[in-house]
């Protein structure tokens, strides 16, 4: 066996040995979103209900804000138009993500604040959360928009994605 093959074989063995012992656990949570109505006038507040469910066989901790209207603090939201293009973000959303938030109307800097609490979900249990899409995206133009949410799950180190919903904004 040529000496050049030995480093390759050693690398393959190391990759196999570390990969075999580090399997990624499946997600412990699922997320479902919904809204009503699905047809709204431009400028109408679009509220999303978020249901987070423990789909594992053990207790799982979930972070959330008190109440059911500040889910954006623990949930990433993505809104796309009918061409698949991301919709224009508000200053509040940029501030939440640490990308410099300011209110385009008043010119004031936005600093998101709020409380946090932990909820322990037993297998099969759910917790309800919610958010206002208009706090995050400008939905001022008529058209169809798709909305999907996701949240990071520490246990599996993965992003858990919700279903996708479609709303129609009319003039």
- The C-alpha atoms of residue 153 and residue 10 are separated, in whole angstroms, by 34
Tell me the per-residue pLDDT of 131-161, one tens digit each, with 9 for 90 and over: 999 999 999 999 999 999 999 998 888 999 9
- The C-alpha atoms of residue 100 and residue 108 are separated, in whole angstroms, by 11
- The C-alpha atoms of residue 171 and residue 169 are separated, in whole angstroms, by 7
- Domain-located, residue 166: yes
Tell me the per-residue pLDDT of 4-41, one tens digit each, with 9 for 90 and over: 544 444 555 444 555 545 677 889 999 999 999 999 99
Tell me the per-residue pLDDT of 65-108, one tens digit each, with 9 for 90 and over: 887 788 898 999 999 999 999 999 988 888 888 766 666 666 66
- Domain-located, residue 72: yes
- Domain-located, residue 4: no
Nearest CA to 48 out of 68, 67, 29, 64 is that of 68
In residues, how long is the chain?
171
Nearest CA to 83 out of 165, 146, 150 is that of 146
- Domain-located, residue 134: yes
DSSP codes, 111-127: ------EEEEEPTT-EE
Both tokens of 32, joined, read: 């479902």
Q: Average of pLDDT values for 45-72?
A: 91
For residue 129, the cross-strand partners are 50
Q: Are the C-beta atoms of residues 60 and 29 closer than 8 Å to each other? A: yes
Domain that holds residue 55: 24-170
CATH of the domain at 88: 2.60.40.2970
- Domain-located, residue 101: yes
């Amino acid at each position: 066996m040529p000496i050049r093959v030995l480093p390759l074989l050693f690398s393959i063995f190391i990759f196999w040995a570390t990969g075999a012992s580090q399997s990624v656990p499946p997600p412990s949570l699922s997320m479902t979103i919904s809204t009503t109505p699905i047809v709204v006038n431009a400028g109408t507040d679009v509220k999303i209900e978020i249901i987070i469910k423990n789909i594992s066989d053990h207790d799982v901790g979930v972070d959330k804000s008190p109440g059911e209207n500040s889910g954006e603090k623990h949930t990433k939201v993505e809104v796309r138009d009918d061409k698949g293009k991301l919709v224009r973000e508000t200053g509040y959303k940029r501030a939440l993500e640490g990308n410099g938030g300011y209110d385009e109307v008043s010119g004031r800097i936005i600093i998101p604040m709020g409380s946090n609490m932990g909820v322990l979900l037993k297998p099969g249990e759910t917790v309800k959360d919610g958010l206002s899409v208009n706090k995050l995206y400008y939905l001022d133009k008529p058209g169809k928009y798709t909305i999907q949410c996701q949240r990071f799950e520490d246990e599996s180190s993965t992003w858990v994605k919700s279903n996708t919903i479609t709303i129609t904004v009319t003039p």
